[in-house]
Structure formats: structure tokens, C-alpha cells
Amino acid sequence: MRSFQALLASCSILAQAAHGLPLVERHTSHSDDLVVKTNQFAVQGAIFPNETNVRFFGNIPYAEPPVGNLRFRPPVSVRPRNETVNGTWFGPSCIQYNSGAKTVYSEYLTGFLLSPGQSTSEDCLTLNVWAPLGSKEGDNLPVMIWVHGGGFTSGGSASQYKYGDRIVRDQNVIVVAINYRLNIFGFPKAAALDGHNLNPGLLDQRKAVEWVYENIHAFGGDAGKMTLFGQSAGAMSVDAYTYAYPFDPLVRGFIAQSGTVGTSSYTYDPVGSNFTYVALQLGCNSTATKDEMFSCVQSKPATDIIRIYNKYNATLNNGLSLSFGPTADNEVIFSNYTDRQQRGLFAQLPTIYSSNDAEGSSLLAFTTDGPPGGQAAIDAFTKNFGTCSTANGALARMKLNVPVWRVRYFGQWPNLNPFEWLGAYHSADIPMIFGTSNLRGPDTELEKATSKYYQNAWIAFAKDPLKGLVEYGWPQYDPNKETLVKLGNGSAEAISVQGDLFDTGC
């Protein structure tokens, strides 16, 4: 498996193309394969670094730039254009929230963050496609659409552990990774919205899925064989999607890794106090109407808006928090998920819910000796965040005879675990599925085998959500039977244990 040092060297070549400079010839030698015509425009792609059989098409706009009067509003479908999009590398990631606080990710696990040198912009509603060399319309390949995590405040599709080339190379599928608006830009909580379309970041995701549904045939994919999968906030997004679009999901299967919405509590602030605070800090008139306040913030530079959020100090503001995340509008985020579960108001399609054995270790306050409270704090966070929420989601589907699988990951590896106390931390499963675990050092033999088995399971599901995992040997979830799938637990393959083994107290 290639090294990421070599990959980064190759990326510098592709970055030239992304800035309008010519590509090195070896990346464009398969010219017929590297220009794809979609319904709106043509896209110039490239051979992905250090791969010979994987094409990459990045920076593909699926919506109009969400700037000016479109800021904080639902995405607008991208208009056709008589030009070829330069898709030889990733476009800018969406504007990031960064308080400056140190985390285990910022200090030791940077492969989960945006790739080195990755730019950010408000004009970021793009997606990226990895496709086999030679795949063409009519090949009808399965499509896996990835939704990144980052707490709805940061993150993006240009992230090294999450590059889709190795899945495509080894599995003959198509991988799509999307960007969506984050923090205040994706979840503005403005009073002027009057309770509607409060989550444009989630509406971005739907717009991206629609674009893939309409255009993936041009890359050799089958719109009837799409799977939506994501991790953390991306998994919450996937789960939320099932409730938002119960009757027209466009995809045929869901995978939620370390995140659900089913047990979360979402509220709505009709006065938009957080948005108003930012508006006042930007110099908007304190006596303005809510609509005037909204227009004022729309007119301000995006860099000024995020700077206020980044530098906010709760201690200096009577302990009041300033946050921008999913809000109940009862359109795409609901205030009654338990009721919707009981009534079956979700897309009743095959689903995988997975969680890690130590979700809390990397999400709680960081010190090199572990989070305050030690293992007890890790276990408590993990139960609340990962265990119980996946249990509830899986149980709701099982009761309605929806095919559902539940997974718990335990893997710990020298090249992925800088501290023993991290265990199977939040995000630790990502490199195993994407086949990128050797980013910071060689894999052990068991690690390689576990990664291959793990990835094969996800692909079995993507290729046939109804029967793929059954044929792979995984039992559908039942809390009263040995149906909980344990991975990375001393064996490369799955071990099935009692379905509710970890659910005491849920």
C-alpha cells in the first residue's frame, strides 16, 4: 500500500491544476476517461495520486454558491454552464469553526482533519467522485455517498483518512464525498427564518444526493444502487435523513457510524438570540427588525462572521454558550423522534448502526493522561453518545421488520493509537473502512486483515443491502439473540454476542 508522503508529493502537482496551472501529462493520459459530461457541464478529472486505475473528479458544484442573498438560505440547484469544471483536485472546504482549543485530533490524530494546505471558502457546495478507470455509463456500479463528521462545525471531504480511492481500487464501486455548510453558515438559528429551513447545511446534503442521483450514470454508477453513509455528525446526518425523507430517500441503504438523532433533544429559539449576538458584534443596528438584521449579516464578509464565533468566550459572557447546530424546524430536524420511531415515520430501508467501544476517549477534554474522570468518564460518555442511541435506532427498525445490523468496534493499533487509554476511540473505524490505516505507519498483519474484512462488509451491504450481509454471515439485529457484531476484538472477522450486551442503563 502506498505511503501518504508520496501521495502528498503528488498532490502538489494536482494543486497546480486546481489553481489554473497545467497538469503533468501522466495524470491526463487517459483523456477520454478524464472528461465526463454531466447534465449541467463537463468535468475534467485526473488519475488519483499513486493510483493507476482510479479516476478522481473533485470540486464538482452541486448547488449555486451560497453567498450574498443565498447565504443562510436553502441551496439552489446548480445552473447548466457552457464550460468544463476543473475537477483535478478538491475544491475549498466549507468555512470552519475553530476555537483554538487543543484536542487529541489537533495534536496527534491530524489525519482525520482537513488535508494539509486545504483551503476554505463560503463557496464550497461541491462534491468529489472516485471512479474506476474505464467505468462508463451503463456499467451500473454501486455508489457510496460519504457524509463527513466534525460536529456540524468543521470538517470536510478533503481529509486523508477518508479518501475514497482505495475502496474504489479494491471493490469496483464509486465513492462520492460531499461538502455541506457548517456552523453559523449551515445552521444560522436566525429569527428572520420564522422557524422554516433552519438547517441549510442538511438541505445541502439532500441537494448533493439529488445531484448524484441525476448524474452518477455519467461516471458509471447506478442511481438505483446508492448507499448513504457517514460518521459522527455525518452519521447523525444520515440518521436525520431517514426521518426527513421517509418516502423519497433516493438511496436504498443507510450506514450510520457513531451518531444518530433518535435520542437527541432538538429545540427552536424563536428570538434567534445567538444569531442576534453575532449581528450586533458585526455592527448591525440593535433597533433593526429581524429581517433587517438578517440582511445586514448577509452583507458582511464571511471571515468577519466566523471570527466572532471563533473568538467567543463564554466566561466573559456570563457563562452563556454560543453555538450553531441542527435546530428543530420539523422539516428536516424534528422535536419528536421517539414518536416518529414508534409510528415508523422514517425510510424503512436496510440500515447499519455502528459505534466504537470508547467513543468518549477522544471527545472529552484532552490531556495526554486521558480525560478528567478517566475510564469511568469515557464509559459514561460512550454509553450515552454511542451505545444507547444506536440501540434505540436499531430496535425501532427491528420492530417494523426493517433489515438492520448493529456493530461495535474494538480495534486498537500501533499506528492509530498514540495513547493506550484512547482504546477504540471516536473515528477509529474510519481508516479501517477506507483502507487508509497506514497513513502514519505500517499496519500489522492483523490490522490489514481486519481492515479488509471490515471494508468488505460495508461493500457487501452497498452491493446488496437486503442480502449482502446475510450472505457475509452477519445476523440481523435482535437484542435477545447473539446478533451484536463485534469487530477488531482479537480476530480479523466478526464475533457475534448478545444483542443488548452493552445496553444496561439505556
Helix, strand, or coil (residue 424) = coil
Q: Give yes or no: 64 in active site.
A: no
DSSP 230: E
The residues that bridge with 325 in the sheet, in sequence order, are none
Helix, strand, or coil (residue 77) = strand
CB 133 within 8 A of CB 165: no
Q: How many CA atoms lie within 13 A of 25 on its CB side?
A: 0
Cα–Cα dist 180/122, whole Å: 10
Q: Give yes or no: 427 in active site.
A: no
CB 347 within 8 A of CB 278: no
Q: Helix 273-281 to helix 302-310 angle, to the nearest 10 degrees?
A: 110
Of 240, 439, 268, the C-alpha closest to 340 is: 240
Cα–Cα dist 352/341, whole Å: 16
Out of 157, 258, 426, 437, the active site residue is: 426
Out of 51, 122, 359, 447, the active site residue is: 359
CB 166 within 8 A of CB 434: yes
Which triple of cell numbers denotes residue 92? 475549498
Cα–Cα dist 145/426, whole Å: 20
Of 448, 473, 445, 444, the C-alpha closest to 460 is: 473
Euclidean distance between the first and final Cα of the chain, in Å?
Answer: 41
Q: Say which residues have a Cβ less than 8 Å from residue 240's Cβ, sequence separation at least 6.
A: 202, 261, 326, 332, 333
Q: Cell 415508523 identifies what position?
A: 344
Which triple of cell numbers denotes residue 391? 440501540
Amino acid found at 229:
F
Q: Give yes or no: 122 in active site.
A: no
Angle at alpha carbon of residue 76, lines to 154 and 309, rounded to 5°: 30
CB 151 within 8 A of CB 325: yes
Q: 10 Å Cβ neighbour count for 500? A: 20
Cα–Cα dist 161/2, whole Å: 13
CA dist 29 → 24, 218, 302, 337 (Å) = 9, 19, 39, 51
Which triple of cell numbers denotes residue 326? 441542527
Out of 232, 258, 354, 389, the active site residue is: 232
Cα–Cα dist 213/9, whole Å: 34
Cα–Cα dist 175/102, whole Å: 32
The residues that bridge with 175 in the sheet, in sequence order, are 130, 144
Active-site annotation, residues: 232, 359, 426
